[in-house]
Amino acid sequence: MDIRAPRGVRDILPDESWKWAYVLDVTAKTMADFGYAEVHLPVFEQTELFSRGVGDTTDIVEKEMYTFLDRGGRSVTLRPEATAGMVRAALEHGLCVHGASAKLWCQGPMFRYERPQKGRYRQFCQLDAECLGLPGPVADVEIIALSAEIFRRLGLKNLEVVLNSVGCPNCRPGYRQALVDYFTSKKEGLCETCIGRLDRNPLRVLDCKLPDCGAIADAAPAVYEHLCGECTSHFEEVKAGLTRLGFVYKLDKRLVRGLDYYTRTAYEILSGDLGAQNAVCGGGRYDNLSESIGGPHLPGVGFAGGIDRIVMVMEQQGASFGERPQPAVCVVAQSEAARGASQVLTHRLRREGFAVEQDAGDSSRWARSFRAQMKSAGGSGAAWVCIIGDEELASGSVAVKNMNTGDQVVVPDAEVTRTIQTATSEV
């Protein structure tokens, strides 16, 4: 077959998908423990949501969106991130009217036309939490603590919290000007892209990964001297709150994040085991996003973690994904005549709540020998094998084999469940 998955996307096959299920289970439990309710958002939105919400001078909007006209001629975009969609949904459904706040989370695929490399895909999965309607620093601290707690429960090690403030519309123009002045004086050392960014979005120059630009950006004016009084005290309270909870963090004046909606807090959690794409999550405050998409003032703070990267780090660090799901029971038909009875037993045990595997071949094709069936039952991890042969068929019984001890008993068909449950509860 010459049709393959498009570049930059991948299939999550059974050897990996159960690990994803574990990460999502832990995430869902942690979100619930922090009071976050799950929502399911559409995978595509009106393009304007992102151009206005994420910002049309960002790389995401300028270069990375999967945008197309639908058959009705409307411009729609596969979501590159979830925050704008979450705010849109909260506004559309009045979740935050009359000063109400909402703590919401979601997970699912996001799409960005980026250059694929390790840990960077064109379709990737995020878990995302958004706290809407709360302007104070306590919410920022809670969001950072929530992301860190998910990673702690997943057993991730060697992580670093990196923190910054990007100010607000009151203080950013002053800081922006300081950056323009500084970078203009160093223009000859900057890459073409950064020179282009200078006028349109000078904060982005701080983010450049090229060594020459990086060296210049390292010596650029820090935002801290330019923050207004309110942003400064917000930042101080976030830092104090994190310290109170025992978090160690590093300040990084170059952390501006790739989305334009941020105000005040910006943060990332980095892994020492990921290489260049080392952020397992990123987030921050976005008090003006709602207004930029035509809504009322609605402060917000949130984060998103990349599931692909989280699983990758866990694998690398040998973290536990819990138990891989496996059948508790395998049902084996020893003869063709016993196949019907084995099907009925399988069905019954499944309805009783057991995870059951059976050889689903039939006599015309695929039917496998007793030996082959026993071999795969042995390899399946099932603790029990129920065997029905001609003798059992004639007497309405089943041979129940305990795969851990090798013991085998023949019991009446109606006694199979009790036999397994009794032996299991004795262990």
| Residue ranges that bind ligand HAM, judged by CB under 6 A | 81-83, 112, 114, 119-121, 124, 126, 128, 130, 258-259, 279-284, 286, 302-306, 308-309
Shortest Å, Cβ 206 to ligand HAM: 15
Shortest Å, Cβ 123 to ligand HAM: 8
Q: Which of 296, 288, 264 lies closest to 99, judged by CA?
A: 296
Shortest Å, Cβ 125 to ligand HAM: 8
The residue number with the shortest CB distance to ligand HAM is 306
Closer residue to ligand HAM (CB): 315 or 407: 315
Shortest Å, Cβ 376 to ligand HAM: 36
Closer residue to ligand HAM (CB): 34 or 182: 34
Q: Tell me the C-alpha distance between 234 and 140, whole Å.
A: 9
* H or E stretch covering 219: none
Closer residue to ligand HAM (CB): 220 or 259: 259
**CA distances in angstroms from 244 to 255, 336, 410, listed in the order given:** 23, 69, 63
Closer residue to ligand HAM (CB): 265 or 397: 265
Closer residue to ligand HAM (CB): 299 or 306: 306
Q: Rounded to a whole number, what is the largest CA-CA distance in the chain?
A: 94
Half-sphere exposure of 282 (CA within 13 A, CB side): 15
Q: Which two tokens stand for residue 182?
A: 């500084």
Residue burial 382-392, b: 16+ Cβ < 10 Å; e: rest: bbbbbbbbeeb
Shortest Å, Cβ 63 to ligand HAM: 12
Closer residue to ligand HAM (CB): 102 or 400: 102
Shortest Å, Cβ 171 to ligand HAM: 20
Shortest Å, Cβ 84 to ligand HAM: 8
Q: Tell me the C-alpha distance between 342 and 359, whole Å.
A: 9
Residue burial 365-381, b: 16+ Cβ < 10 Å; e: rest: eeeeeeeebbeebeebe
Q: How many CB atoms lie within 10 A of CB 145?
A: 17
First to last CA, the chain: 50
Inter-residue contact 169 to 211 (CB < 8 Å)? no
Closer residue to ligand HAM (CB): 121 or 175: 121
